[in-house]
Every structure is written in C-alpha cells, then in structure tokens.
C-alpha cells in the first residue's frame, strides 16, 4: 500500500468539512484541512449566523411599538448600524476561533491556503507545495451569483451586506427566493426603504403555495414594495440616468450621503476595469413594470453556484453537472473512488445541518466501515422572513400529485399581535394522507415558526398520523396548539 501524508485531506473549512475532519480524526486517522478564506464557511461567516443576528436586530422596531400597546411608555429608539456591525464582526471572529480550536484539539492539521486537486491522491496548495492523501473530501460550498445582465457588477450580493459601512436609505432587492425575502424583511425592519423585484408569479418558489402567499401579503403589509412578474430592463450608475435621476427613492442619487447616522456607504470589492462607477454606489434601474428610479444599492439575490472553478476537478477526473456541481453517489463518492464531496458544492440540499450530517455519514462510511447514506428525506427548514416560515415534508401541491390527501389548515390573527392592533396573520397547515393518515407535510407561518418546525419535524419524521397529533393535549393559550386542534379538513385534494 502506498504511503500518504494523510489518511484524509479536506478541502474547505465550512461546517460540513470541519465536522468530517473532526469525526475522522477521532477514529485515529491523520487528517489535514485547507481553507483559503475564513474558517467556518458560508454559514458562520457570511450566511446563517450573521443573517440571524440581523433578523434579531430588525424585529425590535415592532417590539417597541407593541410594548406601547401593552402599557409601556418610552420614546422611539434609533438604530445605529456601525456599533451593531462592529459587534457582529467581533462575534464572527470569536466563532471562527472556536472552529479553529475544535480542529486543533481534534489533531487536525490546518492549512490556511487555497487547495486544488493535482490527481486522485494529491492536493496542490498555494505556493506549489503538494500533499498526498488516501482519501480527499471536497467541501468548498457555494457562492452568490449575479445575473447575466449589463452592469450587473454595480449591484451587491448577500455577502456584501455584512460589510456595509452604513445602511442605505433605499435598496432594490432582485430575486424571490428565501435569501431575497429574508434580507428584504431585515432591511425593512432596520428602517431601509425596500423595493423587491421578482420575475416569477409568486415569491418562495418550491414552498407551499398557501404559505408563500401569506408571506407575500405580510411583507407588503410591512411596507416592502414587492413587484412580481418584474425584471430589470436597464441598470446603470445613477449619474448616467437618462435626463438625470428619475423617481429617486432618496437624496443619495443627488449627491447626498448614503446612510443612517453613520458614514457614507462603501463596499470593499476589487475594481473592475469595465465599471463606470464603483459597485454599491447609487444605481439607476428601469424595470419591465415601467418604473424607472434610482436606489442607493441594488442587491442581487438571484441564486448561488458551487465553488468548483479552479479546483482541478477535470484534471483529477471528477465529473461535474450542468451547474458545475460535483456529482456524487448515495455515499457522497465522486466518479473518482478516492475523492468524496459534501455540502453545497454537490447542490443536493443547501442547508448547513445537511452538510454536517453528510460529513458524519462520510466518516461512518470511509473510516468506521459502516456504509451510511446521508438521509435527505423530511428535512425541516425555516425561512427567516417576518413572519417566519417553517416547513417539513411535502407541500400540498407535491402531495396531491402523489396520492389523495386531506388538508387541515387555519389562519388567524394571533392574540399578542391582535391586542397590539397589528393585522399580522399566522397559518398552520397539515397535509395528511387519506390512506395511511400519516402527516406528510407541516407548514407554519408565524413568529418563531423555525422553533416550532424543529419540534413538529420530529413527529413528521417519525411518521405520526393525524390521529396521533390529535391525541396530544393542546398547550393553551399558544398559537402552536393549532397543530393538535384542527379537527376537520378544509378540503381534500
């Protein structure tokens, strides 16, 4: 048997790669890991964690308003971006050190370098150094992409939002997926004037139609100027707008500072020779709905792509798909037996907990002799809009294409918000098989729906029936009691 520098070499220091490295090292394997950017990957550094902290920050405006309805007397507060952003970055620095410490304590060799494949057992690091490994695991994740339109470089992507020196007064968010909708709610909650353009007929494609319809209504009720069936026709620097800025949403396009009490907004990005203005500056946009105006920023949330460029996949013989994703079998093995891949780079289910479980299944398979397929069925997830959307299992549309189903659903104004005079509505929905009576899907639109769906996901994953849900006593008064009190289906499909 050939001698290798490592039993396992992991390319990518995100949640999935780190978990795989640590669990493999725990079996006694010699493990190395390379990360070209910051340890923690998308989730910790530029995704789930900073986004959720921004979600928390953005909800306090409603909390303050509701408190006055409950008898508290205090003046409106002022949100200051700079102190929040600095504390946010400090927290991300702390978490990155936690990840490094976990790897170090597990005995994993850390290489702060870009890595690529030289052959099925050799990894090339920055500077030309190479290391060999019996097994190689690719866990490099993905990145946000801009649409293929003229001057798209003038717009920001989700990664850039966490780096802003100041909040803009107005933004246009292009896209209708969960990232677009989450940031629309976040920025609106922080006091930014938000316009959103989505070319589809309804936001949150792929989620339950009834649930995404309510989210759309609630977003608009909160002041988000949502335009469906709308796309960009023309995008250019505001200084080059035809006949001057048209319908500007703030004074920024007229030369006034951009921001809320801090400094002029800037985004650190490499200069592009073809640019007529720096990315992130005031941008003029003409849309298919006939509108034409300037925004302080345009933010593209139009999709993500696997980070496979320049990885040496072709040279090593690793097969990729149409979007550049690494193709793997049920055990995360690529077309090259010694090379595996997990997480967003495989474009299966792009969720951090899924990547972690794929990493653990990889260790079971390769280092523990226990072939284990990562379980991609009935994965709960949440969209952190306001209100949140929690979902697990089949949508009504998916279920009715498979078998006859009963639909149990209720929507109402929750007591806490109704007392405060708000018009917010929640939705609870169960999709139930007529034949087996199993709950095939659960969809919740409400504050803290993410917390609720984690618990409901256990019941759906366990295959419980509607009658077993009903046999559970309600906790009253809560909004979640609706999960066990919907006695009569509202329709069959």
Active-site residues, by number, are 476
HEC sequence for 398-455: HHHCCCCEEEEEEEECCHHHHHCCCCCCEEEEEEEECCCCEEEEEEEEECCHHHHHHH
As a whole number of Å, the end-to-end CA separation of the chain is 60
Strand partners, 115: 125
CA-to-CA distance for 31 and 33, rounded, in angstroms?
7
CB 366 within 8 Å of CB 135? yes
CA-to-CA distance for 332 and 138, rounded, in angstroms?
10
To 10 degrees, the CA torsion angle through 339, 342, 345, 346?
A: 90
Angle 299-179-236 (CA atoms, 0-180°, nearest 5)?
15
- 457 CB contacts (<8 Å, ≥6 apart)? 378, 380, 392, 442
At residue 60, φ and ψ (nearest 5 deg) are -70, -25
CB 402 within 8 Å of CB 394? yes
């Amino acid at each position: 048997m050939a001698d290798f520098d490592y039993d396992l070499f992991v390319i990518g220091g995100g949640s999935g790669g780190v978990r795989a490295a640590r669990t493999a090292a725990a079996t006694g394997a010699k493990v190395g890991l390379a990360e070209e950017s910051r340890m923690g990957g998308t989730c910790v550094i530029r995704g789930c964690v900073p986004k959720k902290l921004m979600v928390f920050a953005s909800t306090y405006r409603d909390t303050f308003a509701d408190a006055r309805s409950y008898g508290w007397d205090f003046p409106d507060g002022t949100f200051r971006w700079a102190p929040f952003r600095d504390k946010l970055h400090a927290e991300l620095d702390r978490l990155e050190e936690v990840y490094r410490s976990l790897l170090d304590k597990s005995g994993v060799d850390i290489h702060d370098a870009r890595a690529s494949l030289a052959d099925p057992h050799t990894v090339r690091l920055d500077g030309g150094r190479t290391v060999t490994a019996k097994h190689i695991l690719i866990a490099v994740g993905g990145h946000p992409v801009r649409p293929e339109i003229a001057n798209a470089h003038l717009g920001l992507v989700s990664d850039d939002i966490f780096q802003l020196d100041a909040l803009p007064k107005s933004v246009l968010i292009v896209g209708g997926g969960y990232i677009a909708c989450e940031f629309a709610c976040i920025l609106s909650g922080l006091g930014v004037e938000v316009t959103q353009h989505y070319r589809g007929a309804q936001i949150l494609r792929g989620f339950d139609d009834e649930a995404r319809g309510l989210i759309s209504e609630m977003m608009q009720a909160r002041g988000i100027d949502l335009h469906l069936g709308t796309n960009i026709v023309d995008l250019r620097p505001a200084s080059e707008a035809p006949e001057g800025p048209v319908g500007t949403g703030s004074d920024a396009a007229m030369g006034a500072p951009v921001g809320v009490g801090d400094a002029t907004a800037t985004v650190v990005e490499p200069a592009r020779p073809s640019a007529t203005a720096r990315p992130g500056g005031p941008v003029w946009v003409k849309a298919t709905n006939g509108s034409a105006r300037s925004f302080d920023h345009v933010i593209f949330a139009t999709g993500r792509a696997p980070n496979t460029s320049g990885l040496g996949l072709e040279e090593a013989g690793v097969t990729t798909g149409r979007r550049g994703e690494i193709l793997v079998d049920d055990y995360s093995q690529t077309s090259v037996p010694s090379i595996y891949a997990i997480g967003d780079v495989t474009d299966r289910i792009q969720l951090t907990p899924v990547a972690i479980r794929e990493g653990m299944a990889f260790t079971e398979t390769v280092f523990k002799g226990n072939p284990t397929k990562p379980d991609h069925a009935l994965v709960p997830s949440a969209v952190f809009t306001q209100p949140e959307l929690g979902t697990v299992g089949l949508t009504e549309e998916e279920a009715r294409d498979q078998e006859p189903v009963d639909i149990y659903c209720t929507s109402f104004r929750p007591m806490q918000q109704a007392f405060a005079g708000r018009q917010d509505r929640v939705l609870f929905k169960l999709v139930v098989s007529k034949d087996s009576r199993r709950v095939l899907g659960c969809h919740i639109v409400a504050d803290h729906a993410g917390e609720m769906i984690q618990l409901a996901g256990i019941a759906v994953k366990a295959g419980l029936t509607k009658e077993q849900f009903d046999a559970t006593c309600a906790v009253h008064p809560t909004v979640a009691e609706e999960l066990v009190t919907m006695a009569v289906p509202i329709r069959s499909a």
